[in-house]
Structure 1
Amino acid sequence: MFTEVDAIRREPPDRSPFRGRDTLRILAERIGGSPEPSRRPVVRAFLEDIGSFAPGGRLDAVRGHVNGRRDNHLFSLFGASCFPKLSLDCLTREELPADPHLAECYAVEGVPRPDYDAVASPLLFGHLGEHGGIRVGDGVIEPGAAAPTALAESLCGIQRIEAGLHREPVEAARRRLLEFTNRYTDYDPAARDYRYVPFPAEVKERLGV
């Protein structure tokens, strides 16, 4: 599987027209003519997606395959600027056990845009670090003894602010939410954007991605 995908990657299309119809047609022909990848369910889902892809669309069949947990494979065309070494790639993944309540409050998306999903993970990371919930050393994150208390404090702090939404003017509640968020994140007021948490950026640099 990986050998054949690597062979297809040797003549990758230019990254700029990744969503172009001609680029996707050529990729579909290459992948469909490769015996091992073409028989994999995740690859067939990818081919289904790019066969009907339109500007602004999403890879719904691939997403459905991954969310359905049929296997541990991910196959897609990656064009994110933060991972320039990824293009057409086949990845394997391991699902880690997680507390269901933590998995529902803790967004893992790390895109640097000032919306809830983008900021939630560095916010929690910063809050836990400041209050003894996690320790970072030698490239490893370890839970601290105060993790349960720090998580509870984070939740209570947000709930106190949200409770004021029914009593305070919108701007006052918005200011308190931003003050709480910016205390534990790295906000650049000049760019009006949030910077990445240093630790994941350092890990990405060491991995060369």
Structure 2
Amino acid sequence: MESGLQEVILPNRGIESFTKNGIVCNIVEYDTDVAVFGTGFEPWTSGTPSQRAGFKILGRHGLDMNDKWENGIETLHGLISRGFPNLFIYGVNQTGSTVNYAHMVDVTTFHGVKIVASAVAQASPGRTRPVIEPTAEGEDAWTEKILETAFAYAGLDGCTPSYTTAEGHATRKMSPEECLKAARGLNWGFWSS
């Protein structure tokens, strides 16, 4: 770094205020000539698919996905959710864990195709459009598996604010209820079962 320049690493809460000389961050004023902001990035670790997409996802009988997931994510393999027939969700919540997002999407897509092919093969004669939806028991069992492996992500607490930690939101101090809700949305923490 050039002489006289200082890089300022912002804490989870970011810039507290602007002054005539620069910024205040963590109760310290830094003289700055420039503050660079990045916008438009919504971490995959925050919100429901409905919230991230910016529109309501309504299921059977008008069930709003945000309402269903108010106390935590509920899926089977991170792909399908009870009350939302034939809706396949692609993202990182309750799926596999990898540093290569494209690979995860590829594997998840292949899994989804196998589910559809199996449902079509098992459909009643003359019926080509089966309804694909997990049972409540299936969702509960999968969520229990996710919760059993949540400890694998304990190291995130030491990570700096980034896309992965929802800019520090995922590593903030949480109540036990908030921790349980967050843990329900984690990835499957083991490579094999």
- Calculate the TM-score normalised by the size of structure 1: 0.25
Kindly indicate whether structure 1 or structure 2 has the higher relative contact order, using CA contacts under 8 Å at least 6 residues apart.
2
- Calculate the TM-score normalised by the size of structure 2: 0.26
